[in-house]
Chain A
Amino acid sequence: MALDKPYLDVPGTTIFDAEQSRKGYWLNQFCMSLMKAENRARFKADERAYLDEWPMTEEQKQGVLTRDLNRCMAAGGNIYFLAKIGATDGKSFQQMAGSMTGMTEEEYRNMMISGGRSVEGNRFIGEDGDAQAHRQPQGSAHKKA
Chain B
Amino acid sequence: MAKITASVFTSHVPAIGAAIDLGKTEEAYWQPLFKGYEFSKQWMKDNKPDVVFLVYNDHATAFSLEMIPTFAIGTAAEFQPADEGWGPRPVPKVIGHPDLASHIAQSVIQDDFDLTIVNKMDVDHGLTVPLSLMCGQPEAWPCPVIPFAVNVVQYPVPSGRRCYNLGKAIRKAVDSFDENLNVHIWGTGGMSHQLQGPRAGLINKEWDNAFLDQLIADPEALSHKPHVDYVREAGSEGIELVMWLIARGAMDDVNGKGPAPKVSHRFYHVPASNTAVGHLILENQA
Contact = CB atoms under 8 A, between A and B. Distances in A.
A97 B273 CA distance: 10
Given A13-B199, A15-B236, 15 more contacts: A7-B232, A12-B200, A13-B196, A15-B231, A18-B155, A28-B64, A83-B59, A83-B60, A87-B86, A94-B274, A97-B274, A102-B198, A115-B271, A117-B194, A117-B203
B186 to A, nearest CB: 21
Interface in A93-137: 93-94, 96-98, 100-102, 108, 111-113, 115-119, 122-124, 131-133, 136-137
A101 B231 contact: no
Contacts of A118: 202
A123 B200 contact: no
Interface of A: 6-7, 10-18, 21, 25, 28-29, 31-32, 34-35, 40, 69-70, 73, 78-81, 83-84, 86-88, 92-94, 96-98, 100-102, 108, 111-113, 115-119, 122-124, 131-133, 136-138
A111 to B, nearest CB: 6
Kindly state the interface size class of chain B when it binds its partner: 35 or more
A21 B199 CA distance: 20
B60 A112 contact: no
Contact of B196 (A100, A117, A124): A100
A105 B35 CA distance: 26
Given A93-B273, A111-B201, A112-B273, A80 B65 contact: no
B203 A115 contact: yes
Given A13-B231, A16-B154, A93 B198 contact: no
Q: Which of B18, B199, B226 has the most CB of A within 10 A?
A: B199
B83 to A, nearest CB: 6
Given A13-B236, A87-B86, A93-B273, A98 B200 contact: yes
Contact of A115 (B60, B194, B226, B270): B270
Contacts of B14: 93
B242 to A, nearest CB: 14
A81 to B, nearest CB: 5
Interface of B: 14-15, 18, 29, 59-61, 64-66, 83-86, 153-156, 192, 194-205, 207, 226-228, 231-233, 236-237, 270-271, 273-274, 276
Contacts of B86: 87
B155 A136 contact: no
Contacts of B237: 79
Given A16-B154, A34-B85, A6 B198 contact: no
Given A100-B198, A116-B201, A80 B60 contact: yes
B230 to A, nearest CB: 10
Nearest to A31: B60
Contacts of B64: 28-29, 32, 81
Given A80-B153, A84-B60, A101-B198, A119 B231 contact: no
B153 A16 contact: yes
> Among the interface residues A10, A29, A113, A132, which one has the most CB atoms of the partner chain B within 10 A?
A10
A81 B60 contact: yes
Given A81-B60, A88-B85, A93-B274, A14 B197 contact: yes
A82 to B, nearest CB: 8
B231 A112 contact: no
Given A28-B60, A94-B15, A108 B201 contact: yes
A116 B29 CA distance: 15
A25 to B, nearest CB: 6
